[in-house]
Amino acid sequence: MKRILLSLLLAVTVFAADARSYFLDDVGQVVPLIAAPAIGVAGVDARHTFRERLAVTVTAVAIDEILVQTMKHTIRSRRPDGTDNHSFPSGHMARATVGAEIIRSEYGWGWGAGAYLWAAGVGALRIHHHRHRFGDVVGGAVTGFVSARLAYLLLPLERRLFGWDKSRITVTALPAVGSDGKSVAAAVNLIF
């Protein structure tokens, strides 16, 4: 899996060699978001089920977008390249950090460190391309981290809302009588 990720990074880097292109920024911001629920599908043990990882990811992205867009349109910070007044916080960095924090939470620091390095790379590209200042990128990272943590806090509510926390109990009685004629056996099967 690590070889596949490194090969993908190399291919994207070669494809987007033009320094004026925002291709790496745009694609790089979603790589951790896609990887967050998908790494477990590749066989890596995760802390939550696939549907819970997907729910956390969708919830975190929704929270993140609400926070980022509200701040961008309230604060109205001018971009370094002068194109508009929506510099703070960096949405690219926020999205990459959401994915990185979910990866760290689900798969541990072995995967999380790589995801956070990836997110830092996205932030560095945003600064390099004069789309953001350092403070914008830090603001995006904090917003993304907070969004991911809030999504995890909301997961128990989502479990109840969607009925995921209800275990179905199937009771199977196996009629077995002991040789003394007094003992009976039964089995209880829990299905989640």
Nearest to 35 by CA among 92, 110, 111: 111
Between residues 6 and 49, the one the model is more confident about: 49
Q: How far is CA 49 from the centre of its chain?
A: 13
Average pLDDT of every residue of the chain: 83
The predicted structure's pLDDT at residue 192: 43
Digit-coded pLDDT (tens) for 58-96: 999 999 999 999 999 999 999 998 899 999 999 999 999
**pLDDT tens digits for range 117-133:** 999 999 999 999 989 99
How many helices (H) and strands (E) the chain has is answered by 7, 2
Q: 104 and 21 in contact (C-beta within 8 Å)?
A: no
Q: If we measure between CA atoms, which residue out of 1, 56, 61, 53 comes closest to residue 30?
A: 61
Angle at 181 between CA 180 and CA 182, to 5 degrees: 90
Kindly report, residue by residue over 125-177, the tens digit of the pLDDT: 999 998 999 999 999 999 999 999 999 999 999 998 888 876 554 445 455 55
Q: What is the pTM of this model?
A: 0.76
For residue 15, what pLDDT is reported? 45
Contact 95, 62 (CB under 8 A): no
Burial of 80 from C-beta contacts in 10 A (0-12 / 13-18 / 19+): middle
The HSE-up count of residue 71 (CA atoms within 13 Å, CB side) is 17
Residue 35 scores a pLDDT above 80: yes
**Dihedral sign of CA atoms 94, 98, 103, 108 in order:** positive
Express each pLDDT in 86-99 by its tens digit: 999 999 999 999 99
Mean pLDDT over residues 48-53, rounded?
A: 91
